[in-house]
Chains A and B, each alone.
Chain A
Amino acid sequence: MTKYKNNQSLIPLTKFSKFDPIFKSIIIGASAYTLVMLALILFAVGEGSKEIFQDEGLNFLTSTDWNAVPGRESFGALPYIIGTLVSSGIAMAIGVPISLGIAIFLSEIAGTKLKTPLSFIIELLAAVPSIIYGFWALFVFRFWIMDFVEKPLHSFFGDSLPFFAKTPFGLDVFTAGIVLAIMIIPIISSITRELLLVVPNSQREAAYSLGATRWEAIKIAVLPYAKSGILGASIIGLGRAIGETMLVTLIIGNATGLNAIPTSLFSQSQTLSSLIANEFNEAASELHLSALIGLGAVLLLLTMLINVIARLLVYKMVKTSNPGGRI
């Protein structure tokens, strides 16, 4: 592109059009809107949560009460921060290895005939709205998890391991983590797949020429090359899991206060976003509303941080592997 731009001055034929500068300012304005959006988001969340941070200060982040009764209001975000991290942690532990397997299969192993339909199915999985995942999980999937996974685990290990204490009902942090994993698998695997496709073939050929099997070539030549990108893709998935609202609201059990800190995999919990969704329309007072927006502020900072790091990692990988290229 820069090539023809530099030559532009050498082309006397190009007519000057009065509309050109106008057009340029329109598109620059449209681009600047992205930055305006970012500023609006930071401003609105800051403005909305001002009251709670004035009222509770940093206690808001460390206390565990959640009492919206007028006159005795007390709000603390800690249990929901923990609930968010635990459910997303479970999702990552299950989702990342499976996504990696899918990406490796799609980019390294599958033949062209399998590749297209399978990639399409994975894309469809990404297109299913989270409310539908939640609805399905609430009425179908949680009974599978309860009967086939949680009950056996509970009866074998319930007494010896604290992870599996508490009688499982299917509406808990464990189920939420698994459904979150199902939801982030297509996101992580499609980004990882594209990153693996960027790895130059010379890497693979070198490994094969030394007598490597396909897996060995993947292990020593492909995965190390794409390491930072894969990490970035996983972190993008983590950002999704942390911010996901609807399916978590439906299946995490919606506890508040101290009860929302999960003591076992089968305890009810609550995440930042699910509590906002549950109470936003029933907020009893200005302060309650501000506390909910304050949860949003914590969530915003957390996901911004995660996404900035992830994007930088992905950019780095794409830039070093094909300079000037695109993904």
Chain B
Amino acid sequence: MSSKTKENNNYTKNRKNVQEMMSNTSNRKIYVNKLVTILCICCIIIAIIPLGSILFEVFKNGYSAISFEFLTQKPGSIGSGKGGIGPAIQGTLIVVSSAALIAVPVGVFAGIYLSEYAKSNNKFAFAVRFFADVLTGLPSIIVGIVSYVIIVISIGSFSVVAGAFSLSLIMIPLVTRITEESLKMVPDPIREAAHSLGIPKWKITIFIVLKTATSGVLTGIVLSIARIAGETAPLIMTILGTSLYFSSFTGPVDALPLRIWRLASLPYESAHASGWGAAMILILLILVLNVGLRVLARKQNIATSRDT
């Protein structure tokens, strides 16, 4: 009953709006329309300025710090301005790729289940989908705490394993949802045709459906790798950071975002210069992953549209 009155109210309100609109013959509404368009353009400009400034400053200040030694050497003594970020680059590559090794199979399989096997009214599937979405909004520092309590305390040392585990917790929900969405884009007739040939379902899923959706799934994986490569907070309580190169999977390593943070907190000009250098390497890594993917995707689109 109450919803009906509400609906009626809405209806009268809307009718009033519409009557006003139609009786309004002045130029005012045209000006308002233009004003809103201009405001929206201003919003876009406001959002673009920081991106422009970040890229400009990072490349301007980072460029002078980059040298072969900077990229390969261990950090020098604090404040000396010597040494480089070699261990940080190496550590980021190791931790991120180990995290991806855990997260990609789990995420892709879960995505396959949600899209291909779960019925639409399945409560378990709904729960998985829902909590995967909720987990993508979880603060990354929480993931660090979880990994600290579960892994660092039990093996008694800050380690690559703990770092990779924490980053995989961030990555799995992302990969799950993206895989599901990409598989759902595959048209049903492809599955039906495969079924009519008598192929077992797991083969259809992997060799036909997943293969058709490869570019979408890969895009999702690469974007989520780019996302975890920049995560800092979970690394504070898992890999700790060190100025040495990688020694073992149960020992601490360094990582680029962590190094940037430590350098930013130091009171030396030289440390800040190295920080800009490290920031430039990190942002280059992420830009290459993002932009490269775009260019590849576009090329592939053009190729497929020519084929058809």
Point out residues on A near B: beta carbons under 8 Å: 1-5, 7-8, 11, 13-17, 19-20, 23-24, 26-35, 37-38, 40-41, 44-45, 47-48, 97-102, 104-105, 109, 118, 120-125, 127-136, 138-141, 182, 185-186, 189, 210-216, 218, 220, 236, 239-240, 242-246, 249-250, 273, 276-277, 280-281, 293, 296, 299-300, 303-304, 306-308, 310-311, 315, 324, 326
Please give 10 more A-B residue pairs, beta carbons under 8 A apart, in addition to A2-B119, A98-B43. A30-B107, A37-B135, A38-B134, A40-B146, A40-B150, A128-B286, A136-B53, A186-B47, A213-B33, A220-B17
- Which B residues are CB-close (under 8 A) to A127? 223, 226-227, 230, 286, 290
- Which A residues are CB-close (under 8 A) to B101? none
B307: Cβ under 8 A from any A Cβ: no
The complex places the Cα of A300 from the Cα of B108 at a distance, in Å, of 26
- Which B residues are CB-close (under 8 A) to A120? 294
Question: In the assembled complex, how far is the CB of residue A276 from the closest CB belonging to chain B, in whole angstroms?
Answer: 6
- Which A residues are CB-close (under 8 A) to B51? 121, 124-125, 128
B300: Cβ under 8 A from any A Cβ: no
Q: Is the CB of A273 within 8 A of B40?
A: no
B169: Cβ under 8 A from any A Cβ: yes
Q: Which residue of A lies closest to B205 (CB)?
A: A23
Q: Which residue of B lies closest to A274 (CB)?
A: B141
Q: Is the CB of A296 within 8 A of B141?
A: yes
B29: Cβ under 8 A from any A Cβ: yes
The complex places the Cα of A1 from the Cα of B125 at a distance, in Å, of 15
Question: In the assembled complex, how far is the CB of residue B221 from the closest CB belonging to chain A, in whole angstroms?
Answer: 14
A sample of 18 cross-chain residue pairs with beta-carbon separation below 8 angstroms, ordered by A number, consists of A4-B195, A24-B117, A28-B113, A30-B109, A31-B118, A34-B172, A47-B149, A104-B40, A105-B43, A124-B290, A131-B230, A132-B260, A134-B261, A189-B47, A250-B264, A277-B141, A277-B236, A307-B137
Q: Is the CB of B146 within 8 A of A23?
A: no
B37: Cβ under 8 A from any A Cβ: yes
The complex places the Cα of A20 from the Cα of B202 at a distance, in Å, of 6
B279: Cβ under 8 A from any A Cβ: yes
Question: In the assembled complex, how far is the CB of residue A284 from the closest CB belonging to chain B, in whole angstroms?
Answer: 16
B22: Cβ under 8 A from any A Cβ: yes
Q: Which residue of A lies closest to B258 (CB)?
A: A131
Question: In the assembled complex, how far is the CB of residue A50 from the closest CB belonging to chain B, in whole angstroms?
Answer: 10
Which of B21, B196, B231, B240 makes the CB contact (< 8 A) with A129?
Answer: B231
The complex places the Cα of A29 from the Cα of B41 at a distance, in Å, of 48
The complex places the Cα of A210 from the Cα of B44 at a distance, in Å, of 30
Q: Which residue of B lies closest to A140 (CB)?
A: B57
Point out residues on B near A: beta carbons under 8 Å: 14, 17-18, 21-22, 29-30, 32-33, 36-37, 39-44, 46-48, 50-51, 53-54, 57-58, 105-110, 112-120, 124-125, 127-128, 130-135, 137-143, 145-146, 148-150, 169, 172-173, 176, 181, 184, 188, 191-192, 195-203, 205, 223, 226-227, 229-233, 236-237, 240, 257, 260-261, 264-265, 272, 275-276, 279, 282-283, 286-287, 290, 294
Which of B141, B201, B236, B282 makes the CB contact (< 8 A) with A20?
Answer: B201
Q: Is the CB of B261 within 8 A of A44?
A: no
Q: Which residue of B lies closest to A2 (CB)?
A: B120
Q: Is the CB of B30 within 8 A of A109?
A: no
Q: Is the CB of A15 within 8 A of B47?
A: no
The complex places the Cα of A270 from the Cα of B172 at a distance, in Å, of 30
The complex places the Cα of A311 from the Cα of B118 at a distance, in Å, of 20
- Which A residues are CB-close (under 8 A) to B145? 44-45, 48, 276, 293, 296
The complex places the Cα of A220 from the Cα of B141 at a distance, in Å, of 41
Q: Is the CB of B188 within 8 A of A3?
A: yes
Q: Is the CB of A35 within 8 A of B294?
A: no
| 5 smallest beta-carbon distances between A and B, as pairs | A129-B230, A243-B139, A101-B43, A17-B200, A30-B109
The complex places the Cα of A281 from the Cα of B42 at a distance, in Å, of 43
- Residue picked from A128, A214, A239, A242, most chain B C-beta under 10 Å: A128
Which of A33, A40, A121, A304 makes the CB contact (< 8 A) with B48?
Answer: A121
Q: Which residue of A lies closest to B107 (CB)?
A: A30
> Known contacts being A13-B198, A131-B230, A246-B232, is A31 close to B113, with CB within 8 Å?
yes
Which of A33, A47, A109 makes the CB contact (< 8 A) with B110?
Answer: A33
- Which B residues are CB-close (under 8 A) to A32? 128
Q: Is the CB of A17 within 8 A of B202?
A: yes
Question: In the assembled complex, how far is the CB of residue B260 from the closest CB belonging to chain A, in whole angstroms?
Answer: 5
> Known contacts being A132-B230, A132-B279, A135-B275, is A31 close to B114, with CB within 8 Å?
yes
> Known contacts being A140-B53, A246-B232, is A45 close to B146, with CB within 8 Å?
yes
Question: In the assembled complex, how far is the CB of residue A85 from the closest CB belonging to chain B, in whole angstroms?
Answer: 15
- Which B residues are CB-close (under 8 A) to A14? 195, 198-201
Q: Is the CB of A134 within 8 A of B195?
A: no
Question: In the assembled complex, how far is the CB of residue B245 from the closest CB belonging to chain A, in whole angstroms?
Answer: 21
Question: In the assembled complex, how far is the CB of residue B282 from the closest CB belonging to chain A, in whole angstroms?
Answer: 7
Q: Is the CB of A34 within 8 A of B37?
A: no
